[in-house]
């Protein structure tokens, strides 16, 4: 039985999990900043937009101060994951952990720091963070979960049920990799192109009139990714090109995190997204010149901060 949940990392996604789950179970929150934990303790957490919630959570920036929990949802940014996982090392041996980072390899990073049973997850929900204690729930798209290593599907289904009961959307899969790879290819393409052009994920990404429109580039990047997935024996759950077209048709254009990161001169998740895809391509000996170019260009952009 899952009775106590800890959300590790209270950015937009972490806050959406915490704000909803606190309606149905005890929730604690591990924050990076002490002021953030203090604000949550004092004011609670408010969710607006597609949900309207005001909940109490127990927050701390120090894992030693957190109560034990049955499920930890690791929702920090990919770039913080190594540091966050190392603070969990040696603690909460009874807990099961779920990673929701973009890209590939989050489970491996966590595994290096402990023997917890792990759940793989990807989330499509999105929100806007208005303050440390208020997050707007924007897209009510689901979180998909799957077993990692020897975790049973039954336990994954239990977590999916819990998340669903809190008012979020969730679905358990026996094998998450087909969906994980669809999202990987989608993110590597869309986030990289957005970060380099400064465009939000808008109609430009699906325009295919001329060879030098963005549509043909997006399509070619997706095809490279799909060739890597095929060589790795993975049958994609969704066509990343269709995901792209669909997303550009929504009312307001999403600003991918990689775009927000380069605009704020912050490190991006390029390593766990584009880097991961390029390394997988090397592993299966598939040539991905365009994805490699995107990876080098985003890394170059990061280097230009200093």
Partner 1 sequence: MKVCVVGCGAVGSLFAANLAQLEDVEVWAYDLLQPHVDAINARGLRLTGAGEVVSHVAATAAASDLPPCELGIVATKAMHADAAIAATAHVFADGAVASVMNGVGNEETLARHVERVIRGTTFPAGKLLEPGVVQWDVKGDTTLGPFESQPAPMEAVESLADACTRAGMPTAAVADARPPQWRKVIFNASTNPIGALTGLTHGRVCERPDLRALVTALVDEGKAVAAAQGITLDADPEELIDHAARPEVAYDHKASMLQDVEARRATEIDFLNGGIGRFGRELGVPTPLNDAVTALIKGLEASWT
Instruction: Provide the b/e sequence for 199-226 (b: ≥16 CB within 10 Å).
Output: bbbbebbbeeeeeeebbebbbebbebbb
Rank residues 86 and 197 by Cβ distance to partner 1 and give the closer one: 197
Q: How far is the CB of 153 from partner 1 (least distance, A)?
A: 40
| Binding status of residue 292 toward partner 1 by CB under 8 A | yes
| Binding status of residue 211 toward partner 1 by CB under 8 A | yes
- Please identify, among the stretches 32-40, 167-175, 213-221, 250-258, the one whose residues bind partner 1 according to the rule CB under 8 A: 213-221
Q: How far is the CB of 32 from partner 1 (least distance, A)?
A: 28
| Binding status of residue 254 toward partner 1 by CB under 8 A | no
| Binding status of residue 295 toward partner 1 by CB under 8 A | yes
DSSP 8-class letter at 254:
B
Query: Which of 193, 222, 229, 258 touches partner 1 (CB under 8 A)?
Result: 193
| Binding status of residue 148 toward partner 1 by CB under 8 A | no
- Please identify, among the stretches 59-67, 109-117, 156-164, 211-219, the one whose residues bind partner 1 according to the rule CB under 8 A: 211-219
Q: Enumerate residues 6+ apart whose C-beta is below 8 A from 249.
A: none
| Binding status of residue 300 toward partner 1 by CB under 8 A | yes
> DSSP characters for 62-89?
-GGGSPP-SEEEE-S-GGGHHHHHHHHT
d(CA 143, CA 183): 12
Question: CA Rg, the chain, in Å?
Answer: 19
Q: Name which of 152, 6, 149, 140 is nearest 68 in CA terms.
A: 6
Q: How far is the CB of 120 from partner 1 (least distance, A)?
A: 29
| Binding status of residue 297 toward partner 1 by CB under 8 A | yes
Residue 293: C-alpha distances to residues 162, 258, 260, 298 (Å): 42, 16, 20, 9
β-strands 4-8, 53-55: how paired? unpaired
Rank residues 70 and 280 by Cβ distance to partner 1 and give the closer one: 280
Q: Could you tell me the two tokens for 300?
A: 């170059």
Rank residues 24 and 196 by Cβ distance to partner 1 and give the closer one: 196
d(CA 21, CA 216): 41
Total residues interacting with partner 1, rule: CB under 8 A:
25
Query: Which of 16, 234, 276, 290 touches partner 1 (CB under 8 A)?
Result: 290
The site for partner 1 (CB under 8 A) is made up of 193, 196-199, 204, 211-214, 216-217, 220, 289-290, 292-293, 295-297, 299-301, 303-304
């Amino acid at each position: 039985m899952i009775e106590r949940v800890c959300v590790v990392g209270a950015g937009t996604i972490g806050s959406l999990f915490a704000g909803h789950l606190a309606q149905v179970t005890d929730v604690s929150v591990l924050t990076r900043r002490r002021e953030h934990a203090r604000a949550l303790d004092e004011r609670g957490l408010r969710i607006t937009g597609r949900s309207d919630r005001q909940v109490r959570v127990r927050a701390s920036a120090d894992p030693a101060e957190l109560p034990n929990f049955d499920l930890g949802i690791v929702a920090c940014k990919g770039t913080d994951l190594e540091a966050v996982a190392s603070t969990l090392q040696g603690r909460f041996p009874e807990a099961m952990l779920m990673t929701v980072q973009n890209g590939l390899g989050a489970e491996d990073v966590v595994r290096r720091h402990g023997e917890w049973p792990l759940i793989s997850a990807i989330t499509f929900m999105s929100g806007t963070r208005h303050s440390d204690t208020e997050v707007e729930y924007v897209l009510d798209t689901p979180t998909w979960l799957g077993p990692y290593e020897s975790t049973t599907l039954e336990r994954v289904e239990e977590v999916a049920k819990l998340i669903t009961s809190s008012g979020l959307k969730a679905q358990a899969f026996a094998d998450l990799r087909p969906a994980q790879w669809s999202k990987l290819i989608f993110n590597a393409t869309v986030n990289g192109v957005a970060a380099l052009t400064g465009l939000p994920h808008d109609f430009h990404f699906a325009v295919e009139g001329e060879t030098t429109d963005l549509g043909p580039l997006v399509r070619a990047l997706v095809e490279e990714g799909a060739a890597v997935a095929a060589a790795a024996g993975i049958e994609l759950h969704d066509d990343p090109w269709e995901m792209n077209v669909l997303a550009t048709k929504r009312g307001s254009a999403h600003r991918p995190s990689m775009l927000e990161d380069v605009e704020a001169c912050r490190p991006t998740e390029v390593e766990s997204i584009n880097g991961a895809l390029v390394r997988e391509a090397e592993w299966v000996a598939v040539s991905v010149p365009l994805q490699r170019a995107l990876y080098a260009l985003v890394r170059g952009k990061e280097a230009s901060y200093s």
